[in-house]
Structure 1
């Protein structure tokens, strides 16, 4: 379905693009530590398409990692002041207080004019 902008992608970032790119570099460094510390750990196959987070595969394209390994990945990101959370297939890490819910709320308000119960 084409967008109102004629199909063009519109990026709405919580930070400037320069800050996002700096965060990417920091996350990439932390991910390098993760890969070195957790045998078999690797970035998610779709990492090249991610802009604001880092995804470490733990069950998508590999045999599932143990809970202890997943916890170690999360702890490594947390110790570098990043947020990190495991999904069913990845550990996602990012800097900032945003998450999928707050981003969806922002999209609904800014693009579609829908204001949630708190607004």
Structure 2
């Protein structure tokens, strides 16, 4: 059973070298709106300035991740549910954006063809289904909007869509706003493992993950230290594994709440 973040031990906080976090409804949102709050963005800056590695882990598009890597105070970014990670190489002058893919160009091309066919099949099988307005900026992932810019789908229809994609050999994951589906032998957790070994040279004992929905569940299962923002409670009935701790506040306010707890332990 998840505990409140007040129960986090000093030893757990002291071990943290890197904070990995979901964006939608974890870092963004709060107070009845979906944008990133001033409190959450300020917390991100404070974590970065404290020397803590900060890495968004998102299903959002490659185009968004390019901007986030360049403009946010982050160490790296995991994009499109683990298809790649990117970071700025500050050893180069000027700093150069580096993008590391988890699969070869040949495999990516083959998967892209299968994804186009799946897209056609989904639109035929689910009348009225729509991709989100950010689909044009995606490279590897087909997203179907079930509540962000459309009327919320019934849970049964969402589950049917996921089963439809999986029956055709795709991976399907549920976020707080989209069903994300793709072909490939990777996910968010796989990509985070790659960052830890290739870029950071640290292990799970020195990491905390913050999330809010079923596509964060692999982290809740595998990491010894995980946190859910309060709105994760709405998904607990759909998940086998819950976060170790849950904040009192929702979404971006919950992110800021945990960041304050972590930073306070360093003073």
Instruction: Answer yes or no: is 1:64 the counterpart of 2:152.
Output: yes
Which of 94, 98, 104 does residue 10 from structure 1 map onto? 98
Cα deviation digits, residues 57-83 of structure 1 (max 9, x gap): 111111111112212211221111111
CA distance in 2, matches of 1:74, 1:27: 14
Q: TM-score, normalised by structure 2?
A: 0.40
Name the structure where strand makes up a greater proportion of residues. Answer: 2
Q: TM-score, normalised by structure 1?
A: 0.83
Q: For the Cα contact (< 8 Å) 1:55–1:92, is it kept in 2?
A: yes
**Max Rg structure:** 2
Q: 1:52 and 1:62, CA in 2 relative to 1: closer, same or farther beyond 3 A? A: same
CA distance in 2, matches of 1:64, 1:7: 42
Instruction: Answer yes or no: is 1:53 the counterpart of 2:141.
Output: yes
Aligned to 2:175: 87
**After TM superposition, where is structure 1 displaced by more than 6 Å over at least 4 residues in a row?**
none
What RMSD, in angstroms, separates the aligned Cα atoms of the two structures? 2.2
Q: 1:46 and 1:21, CA in 2 relative to 1: closer, same or farther beyond 3 A? A: farther
Q: How many residues align?
A: 118
Aligned to 1:44: 132
CA deviation after TM superposition for structure 1 residue 30, in Å: 0.8
